Amino acid sequence: MFALAPSILAADFKNLGNGLEKIQKSGASYVHLDVMDGRFVPSISFGMPVIESIRSISNCVFDVHLMVEEPERYIDDFIACGGDSITIHAEATTHVSRAISQIKASGVKAGIALNPSTPLNVLDYILDQVDMVLIMTVNPGFGGQKYIDSSTRKITELRNLMNDCGLSTDIQVDGGITLDNVSTVIEAGANIIVAGSAVFQGDIEKNTKDFLRIMKNSILI
């Protein structure tokens, strides 16, 4: 399953409903929701009230990315306000397995995110527990950053590891993804693509359709 997950962090919040309508109309099936606490990352973004307010106007999968310290404190709240998938950072809690179990016990999908400098071996004892691994392709905390080239090798290594383990776990990429490099990450093994500025800056509908067209062509290669 391949999906585009536009990140609303780059959207115009004055017209957020309109932006969501455009990406859904143009074929996006996910909405990526970057929650930042000002501790795990320097920035503060938005929380439960925003997600709850837009839940009723979108049929997309609400893909909640918690860039927060001790995410287990908030997991239940983000599920209650509309999250369909909750991703936590391996670096943000000392009890990763317990937090993953907490997510899955609520009946939603569980993801684990890795910062660019975090090695894949932190997944050794939890890879079979998660539905998705998010490879950060920039350092988290700010939009508009440039893709870190070494991420491509990391994506490939993760996909090979999953294949060796007989797993079909989703690989999501987030950070610096554009129309120019989306083919690269798909060919490396990613199947859920987060894009922020490259979708929401300019013609949202055209950008979304262009991403989906390139993604489809990359899959067919």
Catalytic positions: 34, 174
144 annotated to bind ligand = yes
Among candidate residues 210, 166, 208, 216, the one with its CA nearest the CA of residue 191 = 216
141 annotated to bind ligand = yes
Among candidate residues 164, 171, 153, the one with its CA nearest the CA of residue 113 = 171
Distances (CA, A) of 81 to 17, 41, 78: 17, 22, 5
95 annotated to bind ligand = no
Residue 190 one-letter amino acid: A
Is 191 within 8 Å of 2 (Cβ atoms)?
A: yes
Q: Classify residue 168 as exposed, middle or buried by CB count within 10 Å of its CB (0-12, 13-18, 19+).
A: exposed
Tokens of 208: 């979304």
Q: Rounded distance, CA 173 to CA 190, Å?
A: 7
142 annotated to bind ligand = yes
124 annotated to bind ligand = no
149 annotated to bind ligand = no
34 annotated to bind ligand = yes
174 annotated to bind ligand = yes
131 annotated to bind ligand = no
Positions at the binding site for a divalent metal cation: 32, 34, 65, 174
Binding residues: 7, 32, 34, 65, 141-144, 174-176, 196-197
